[in-house]
Chain A
Amino acid sequence: MIVVAFMPILILLAVFIAMSLLIKKSSRFGFGRGKIGLWMLMGYAALLVVSAVIFLAIPLGSTELKGQENDRDAERKSQQFYEAVQEGRLDEIEEWRIQEWSFPFDEEQLNLQVLENDVNGINLFIERTDDLTDTLEAFYFQTPLMINGYEVEEKYMPALSMDMATLSVYPGEKLNLKYKMFGSEFPFRLFDEEGGYAWGDTTVSHWNGSALYIRVPEGLDVVADQNAYTEVGPS
């Protein structure tokens, strides 16, 4: 551990000594002899220019990342989302529907079993409706995960299974997303009026809303932990 703590200092020290040896005239290690320096520079510069050209030629889907401002946007959106869910206005959140299930059901009592792991809590909403008889309907809604304005395309959804009178909600397969983010160097960020875009500002929006919305026939007895779900009454 102690070595790790001193690593930056050691590296800097090593760099300092190496540089001094390289530049110092009398040094025998120095490459300062002959024209090597100029050739190295030219080769290096050529390499850099070529890589710049290639990099700019690659069709990269450039995403304008927005940072903090976008986060406020997401917060508003998520509030709207939950309001809509609470009030059962499913048509408003249609665009965020990811999956729907339908189970035939003719029991009088529904056992709701929610398997949660410690990270993924699934927001459950239950609506009793006259529309349905002998059927359960479930929808999974989720507003997209945003990384500074970049919309993550991969969608997460929980798994549902029906067994006799028990509806089990399993957390879905966790999505491991790995991204490479290319930032601009700090001199570029100096004059940005909005304080620039710095690494520290990167936010994976935690405002994304998700809801498992289950519609059950009117009068069905739902047995579950009281905190597991929210009863939704459409206005």
Chain B
Amino acid sequence: MSLIEVQTSEVVKKQIGYKWKAYTGVFTSLVVIQILGLLFSLNGSGSMGSGRTGYDVNITYYTADIVVGFTIFWGFLTAFLLTTKAYREDDFAFVTNRKTSTLSTIAFLFMICVIGALTALLSSFALKLLAYFMLPGEEILLTQGVGDVGPWLIGMLATFLIVFLFSSLGYLAGMIVQLNKMLVIILPVVVVGLMILLYRSGFQVQVYFFEFFFEESNAWLFTLKTLAATTIFYALAVLVSNRLEVKQ
């Protein structure tokens, strides 16, 4: 039998197609969690009552923020679960090594994060349509930007970047946990413990984290920051994954 030399890129491409077919379960969870988010959102994300001379104003605020939040959470959890042994072994049924396996998983996560972000933002229309037709309240107040293409695309990009960033965090966390199962408990304890310690010494990590990413009003800088962080997290995950054996 002649021996075959294969290119990494060729195998990665094949694996992306393979994962696309094999991991359709992630879409089930995506749809379920977004519908769940929509149901929560129907209650209104906020409500404000205000009394003025002769007026009693009550405004219910509808936004798919919860859906977007759930989608971010979904991105984290999906990436986390894709690092579990059952999923990693799927890769190794066919031609692969750790590099192609990780690269194709990241590419796959990239694609599903695009889909997740897209459906999350589209669900906003479904929510508003439902609210428009079904829920009480005489008049509709729109805030700006609904239906404008330009801002919508930028918002879409931002949503995707955030979901993708959290997926990289989930992937890294998952890989670290795979090193040793005990880390499932130790890792959160260490992270939360460190945050509390730093908080005591006057440095609030989570605040810094949110300021760093979410109070960046420049779209380019935001893109740069999130992509850089995502790349770092994935690179760390690759480093960790290279230490993992497949079957034991």
Contact = CB atoms under 8 A, between A and B. Distances in A.
Q: Do chains A and B touch in the complex (CB under 8 A)?
A: yes
A40 B31 contact: yes
B129 A179 contact: no
Contacts of B128: 55, 182
Contact of B24 (A18, A37, A55, A147): A37
Interface stretch (A87-95, A117-125, A222-230): A117-125
Q: Give the interface centre of A35, A121, A147, A182 by most chain B CB atoms within 10 Å.
A: A182
Interface string B52-67: 1111111111111101
Given A19-B74, A20-B77, A48-B123, A192 B217 contact: yes
B24 A20 contact: no
Q: Give the interface centre of B67, B141, B143 by most chain A CB atoms within 10 Å.
A: B143
Contact of B25 (A30, A44, A65, A197): A30
A115 interface: no
Interface stretch (B10-18, B144-152, B201-209, B230-238): B144-152
A189 B60 CA distance: 19
Contacts of B68: 185-187
Contact of B139 (A16, A175, A179): A179
A41 B27 contact: yes
Contacts of B32: 18-19, 22
A176 interface: yes
Interface stretch (B91-99, B101-109, B114-122, B186-194): B114-122
B135 to A, nearest CB: 7
B56 A187 contact: no
B132 A180 contact: yes
Interface residues of B, number: 87
A188 interface: yes
A94 to B, nearest CB: 20
A81 B139 CA distance: 28
A28 B30 CA distance: 18
A26 B85 CA distance: 11
Interface string A27-56: 000111101111011001101110110111
Contacts of B120: 185
Contacts of B217: 190-193, 195
Interface stretch (A105-113, A131-139, A161-169, A199-207): A199-207
Interface stretch (B1-9, B155-163, B177-185, B240-248): B155-163
B138 to A, nearest CB: 6
B92 to A, nearest CB: 14
Q: Give the interface centre of A22, A188, A206 by most chain B CB atoms within 10 Å.
A: A188
B45 A199 contact: yes
Contacts of A234: none
A230 to B, nearest CB: 16
Contacts of A122: 53
A184 B119 CA distance: 15
B228 interface: no
Interface string B14-58: 000000000111111111111110001000011010111111111
7 contacts: A23-B29, A24-B84, A30-B25, A180-B62, A187-B158, A202-B59, A204-B48
Given A60-B132, A145-B57, A180-B137, 10 more contacts: A32-B24, A55-B125, A62-B147, A150-B141, A182-B140, A190-B158, A190-B217, A197-B143, A204-B48, A204-B59
Interface of B: 23-36, 40, 45-46, 48, 50-65, 67-68, 70, 73-74, 77-78, 81, 84, 86-87, 90, 115, 119-126, 128-132, 135-147, 151-152, 154-156, 158-159, 162, 214, 216-219, 222
